[in-house]
């Protein structure tokens, strides 16, 4: 078995960006959010991914700006560390080792040098029992610091990061857990506790769900399961505390947030509506239809921007006037990917379940959602327990011009509603348009669906639990003219059964000459042209889970996995079992452009990968401990251009790239070292082309370029821009020194401006009478004309002798060269001396 470092497993996207509350930079230009074990930096204006802060080894649980430096950010992680970053440059400044998994991170302007962390209690083995501690950060120059001084502040803290927060600029902290509210004042070092009953007489649920403290007043806002918001006041006097109630949400209040000045309270919940409450006023404004349920709300330092995180893995940037300005959409995370992973042949996008009732088209290259296609075409109602349509199957034809989808509703068999829809791609609308809707195509749930692999026939085969499989054909243009419809429609062409067994899977061979349909433990082979049953293949006990044909030189093989942990391979020429092995296969995928096949197995709660050819006994590649848990979905994505100079161990990635989706909805990709290096070089080339022209280039770059042109050397545009005098120590040191250790910009600017000023002696010379200056210019022009005539005569003589001539410069270039020679570069020597 081959296992090589040439093949790398990288997370290419798909991580959740709604786990922790995002952070907006002080200038409102950037938005930072946790994404798996990364911190991603997005532009609030372009919605593009700017930087990635990489260094944590586990999930990032919190992000907050550094109060001492607004260009830096803290990030906490379950790996037990807090890291300080310069997010504008993407540089790791310092790592603080805490030693405990961190659930929540808090900082305050009033407590300099202290990080407030929610970590597991030391004296309790139960990981769910958490406490709030104050970590005193030591001042040291070392990049990795171990924080040993931890002091307990509050016990029994909720793992929900929205249930704890600072109030009145850090004078107190409030925490809610279950039916208890605790307010702790740092000055008195005294907590105040308040309890609510489990439910009122009207049946309302009083459990706390979130907390937000007023930045200026002694007021704590709490959200509850019954949709109510309570504003607590006078809580530092236990007997005289009061609260007022705000009620708009019909279900759980997920998150609350005050604006920096405290004039507005923002709330969100499952209704996907942002509610803006005016503080101390009985008025509110709402912004509805934002997508999935709201999980977090953040506000910029100046209160000009709001952000809402949603359950559909989306962050919405909203202006203070409640107008949406940007949407950062990640890979939509549903409860499950029912449709499997599918590639759109037209856009090369990854297609899978999106928000409820939709298919999302996701760009693998840009890690960004392209658009959503509404399949159900019904308004989604965000209400718990409501039975709604779900898209469960999707398939494209060979050219991406047709799309077939299956949607279902109903948990019980008697209540199940099934709809099969066929879509055509519209060039004018640049999207798919509904062609045919088939209500109740089967009497029970559809288990699999596949398109005919070639463009000769437009056919779809579906299998269902009603004991039959059906073939659907697109009508001809002649049928359309007879019926008087706008275009050809789909209809059922054949219905097949086998001994009243239940079909589980279907698959076409690469050329479309065979159709394999599995009926529990039996595989049937059919001729799609005549619908004749050619043969049946029996195998060891266990129902068929996955089924696929071999490709190219291995097209004579048919592979299947069973529920009894067997992987079997049949030879279709002899109709016999070629080989079988006992292995717990969770997924079986075939590369459409090669003979390679990928098998994912689950061993000791970890997934292993085997890549092999059906005709060879040894695997081409293995990857142990690919991820923790089971790989949910996988797919081979064809490359636009094959990779060149691949290592033998990575040759299986030459034509296609393998992607897989984990339980945590992380999208993993297998790449090669050569591919990564070429990607880095392309990025560097793009960066070099986008570099702005600097004053150093204006002063020295053109001069260097002219010198090369005078010497007859070819100069490219990129070389002309980038060339600087290699012997200049000052310029080299200036360009290769880190920005934070350079002298102030004012110091460099003064020297630069002084070097451009004209000296007094030069002024006296240039203030001579204009008549003398005119006469001198006239003499220079006459001398230049004489030199030109002499040079021309000399050129004729040289050409007659066949000697190579030296390139000449024009008058304009000679004048420019004289100006460059007069320029004073003494400021560079001053810089080198300093």
* Low-confidence winner among 1-15, 16-30, 774-788 (lowest mean pLDDT): 774-788
Segment 89-98 mean pLDDT: 91
Structure tokens that stand for 288 in this block? 């509805």
Residues 607-620 have pLDDT tens digits of: 999 999 999 878 88
Region label for 727, one of left (φ > 0), alpha (ψ between -120 and 50) or beta (otherwise): alpha
User: What residues contact 513, with CB distance under 8 A and at least 6 apart?
Assistant: 527, 528
Is 232 buried (19+), middle (13-18) or exposed (0-12) by CB count in 10 A?
A: buried
User: Of 26-40, 326-340, 355-369, 669-683, which has the strongest mean pLDDT?
Assistant: 26-40
Kindly state which CATH superfamily the domain 332-455 is placed in. YVTN repeat-like/Quinoprotein amine dehydrogenase (2.130.10.10)
803 DSSP assignment: P
- The answer to whether the 18-157 and 332-455 domains have the same CATH topology is yes
pLDDT in the model for residue 163: 92
pLDDT in the model for residue 629: 85
pLDDT in the model for residue 164: 93
Segment 398-425 mean pLDDT: 88
Q: Per-residue confidence at 5, pLDDT binned at 50, 70, 90?
A: very low
Residues 141-172 have pLDDT tens digits of: 888 999 988 888 998 898 899 999 998 888 99
- Compute φ and ψ for 189, nearest 5 degrees: 50, 45
Other C-beta atoms within 10 Å of 748: how many? 15
Residue 110 in this model has a pLDDT that exceeds 70: yes
pLDDT in the model for residue 230: 92
More confident residue, 823 or 699: 823
Other C-beta atoms within 10 Å of 109: how many? 10
Residue count (the chain): 834
| Dist CA 172 CA 180 (whole Å) | 17
State CA 576 to chain mean position distance: 46
* Low-confidence winner among 184-188, 478-482, 737-741 (lowest mean pLDDT): 478-482
**What's the pTM?**
0.70
Residue 634 in this model has a pLDDT that exceeds 90: yes
Q: Residue 253 in contact with residue 227, Cβ under 8 Å?
A: yes
Q: Residue 54 in contact with residue 85, Cβ under 8 Å?
A: no
Expressed in percent and rounded to 5, the helix, strand and coil fractions of the chain are: 20, 40, 40
Q: Per-residue confidence at 275, pLDDT binned at 50, 70, 90?
A: very high
Residue 229 in this model has a pLDDT that exceeds 80: yes
User: Can you give the residue ranges of every domain in the chain?
Assistant: 1-14+585-688, 18-157, 332-455, 699-765+806-834
Residue 1 in this model has a pLDDT that exceeds 90: no
pLDDT in the model for residue 587: 92
* Low-confidence winner among 173-182, 315-324, 690-699 (lowest mean pLDDT): 690-699
Give domain 18-157's CATH architecture.
Answer: 7 Propeller (2.130)
Residue 208, beta-bridge partner list:
224
Residue 639 in this model has a pLDDT that exceeds 70: yes
Q: Residue 309 in contact with residue 294, Cβ under 8 Å?
A: yes
Q: Per-residue confidence at 769, pLDDT binned at 50, 70, 90?
A: very low
Residue 761 in this model has a pLDDT that exceeds 90: no
Quickly list DSSP for 580-647.
EEE--EEEEEE-TTSS-EEEEEEETTEEEEEEE-TT-SS-SEEEEEEEES---EEEEEE-SS--SS--
Residue 321, beta-bridge partner list:
none
Residues 328-342 have pLDDT tens digits of: 988 876 667 788 899
How far, in Å, are 251, 566, 818 from residue 828 at the CA level? Answer: 68, 75, 20
| Dist CA 316 CA 305 (whole Å) | 10
* Low-confidence winner among 53-57, 98-102, 537-541 (lowest mean pLDDT): 537-541
Average pLDDT, the chain: 81
Residues 118-130 have pLDDT tens digits of: 999 876 545 568 8
Angle between helices 826-833 and 729-736 (to 10 degrees): 60
Q: Residue 702 in contact with residue 708, Cβ under 8 Å?
A: no
Residue 482 in this model has a pLDDT that exceeds 60: no
Say how many CA atoms lie within 13 Å of 632 toward its Cβ.
18
Segment 544-552 mean pLDDT: 92
| Dist CA 569 CA 574 (whole Å) | 12
């Amino acid at each position: 078995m081959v296992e090589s470092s040439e093949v790398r497993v990288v997370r290419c996207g798909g991580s959740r960006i709604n786990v922790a509350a995002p952070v907006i930079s002080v200038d409102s230009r950037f938005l930072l959010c946790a994404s798996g074990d990364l911190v991603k930096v997005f532009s609030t204006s372009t919605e593009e991914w700017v930087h990635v802060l990489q260094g944590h080894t586990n999930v990032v649980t919190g992000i907050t700006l550094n109060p001492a430096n607004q260009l830096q950010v803290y990030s906490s992680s379950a790996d037990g560390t807090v890291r300080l970053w310069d997010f504008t440059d993407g540089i790791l400044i310092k790592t603080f080792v805490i030693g405990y998994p961190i659930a929540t991170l808090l900082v305050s302007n009033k407590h300099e040098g202290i990080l407030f962390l929610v970590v597991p209690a030391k004296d309790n083995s139960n990981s769910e029992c958490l406490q709030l501690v104050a970590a005193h950060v030591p001042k040291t120059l070392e990049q990795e610091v171990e924080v040993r001084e931890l002091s307990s502040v509050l016990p029994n803290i909720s793992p929900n990061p929205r249930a704890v927060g600072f109030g009145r600029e850090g004078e107190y902290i409030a925490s809610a857990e279950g039916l208890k509210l605790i307010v702790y004042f740092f000055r008195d070092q005294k907590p105040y506790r308040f309890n609510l009953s489990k439910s009122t007489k009207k049946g309302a649920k009083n459990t706390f769900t979130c907390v937000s403290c007023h930045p200026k007043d002694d007021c704590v806002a709490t959200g509850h399961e019954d949709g109510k918001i309570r504003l607590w006041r006078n809580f530092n006097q236990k007997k005289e505390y009061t609260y007022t109630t705000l009620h708009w949400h019909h279900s759980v209040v997920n998150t609350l947030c005050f604006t920096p000045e405290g004039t507005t309270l923002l709330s969100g919940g499952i209704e996907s509506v942002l509610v803006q409450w005016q503080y101390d006023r009985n008025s509110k404004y709402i912004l509805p239809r934002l997508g999935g349920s709201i999980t977090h709300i953040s506000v910029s330092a100046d209160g000009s921007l709001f952000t809402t995180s949603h359950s559909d893995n989306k962050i919405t940037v909203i202006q203070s006037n409640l107008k949406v300005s940007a949407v950062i959409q990640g890979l939509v995370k549903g409860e499950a990917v029912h449709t499997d992973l599918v590639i759109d042949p037209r856009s090369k996008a990854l297609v899978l379940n999106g928000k409820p009732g939709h298919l999302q088209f996701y760009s693998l290259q840009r890690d960004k959602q392209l658009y959503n296609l509404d399949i159900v075409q019904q308004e989604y109602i965000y209400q718990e327990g409501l039975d709604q349509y779900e898209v469960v199957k999707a398939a494209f034809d060979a050219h991406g011009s047709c799309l077939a989808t299956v949607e279902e509703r109903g948990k019980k068999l008697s209540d199940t509603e099934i709809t099969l829809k066929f879509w055509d791609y519209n060039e004018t609308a640049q999207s798919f348009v509904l062609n045919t809707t088939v209500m109740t195509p089967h009497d029970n749930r559809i288990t699999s669906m596949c398109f005919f692999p070639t463009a000769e026939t437009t056919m779809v085969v579906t299998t269902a639990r009603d004991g039959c499989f059906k073939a659907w054909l697109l009508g001809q243009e002649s049928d359309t003219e007879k019926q008087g419809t706008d275009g050809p429609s789909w209809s059922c062409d054949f219905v097949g059964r086998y001994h009243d067994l239940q079909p589980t899977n279907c698959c076409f061979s690469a050329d479309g000459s065979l159709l394999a349909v599995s009926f529990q433990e039996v595989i049937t082979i059919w001729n799609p042209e005549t619908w004749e049953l050619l043969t049946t293949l029996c195998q060891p006990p266990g129902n068929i889970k996955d089924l696929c044909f071999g490709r190219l030189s291995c097209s004579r093989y048919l592979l299947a996995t069973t529920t009894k942990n067997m992987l079997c391979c049949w030879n279709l020429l002899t109709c016999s079992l070629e080989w079988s092995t006992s292995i717990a296969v969770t997924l079986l995928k075939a590369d459409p452009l090669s003979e390679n096949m990928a098998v994912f197995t689950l061993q000791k709660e970890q997934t292993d990968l085997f890549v092999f050819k059906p005709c060879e006994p040894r695997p081409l590649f293995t990857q142990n401990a690919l991820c923790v848990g089971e790989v949910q979905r996988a797919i081979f994505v064809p490359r636009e251009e094959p990779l060149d100079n691949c290592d033998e161990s990575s040759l299986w990635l030459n034509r296609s790239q393998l992607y897989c989706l984990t339980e945590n909805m992380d999208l993993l990709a297998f790449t090669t070292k050569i591919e990564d290096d070429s990607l880095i070089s392309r990025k560097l080339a793009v960066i070099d082309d986008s570099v702005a022209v600097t004053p150093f280039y204006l002063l020295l770059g053109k001069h260097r370029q002219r010198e090369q042109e005078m010497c007859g050397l070819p100069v490219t545009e990129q070389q002309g821009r980038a060339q600087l005098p290699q012997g200049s120590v000052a310029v080299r040191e200036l360009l290769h020194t880190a920005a934070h250790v350079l002298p102030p910009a004012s110091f460099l600017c003064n020297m630069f401006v002084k070097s451009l000023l004209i000296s007094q002696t030069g002024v006296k010379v240039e203030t001579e009478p204009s008549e003398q200056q005119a006469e001198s210019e006239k003499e220079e022009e006459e001398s230049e004309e004489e030199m030109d005539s002499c040079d021309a005569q000399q050129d004729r003589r040289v050409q007659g002798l066949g000697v190579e001539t030296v390139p000449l410069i024009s008058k304009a270039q000679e004048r420019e060269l004289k100006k460059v020679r007069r320029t004073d570069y003494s400021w560079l020597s001053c810089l080198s001396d300093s």
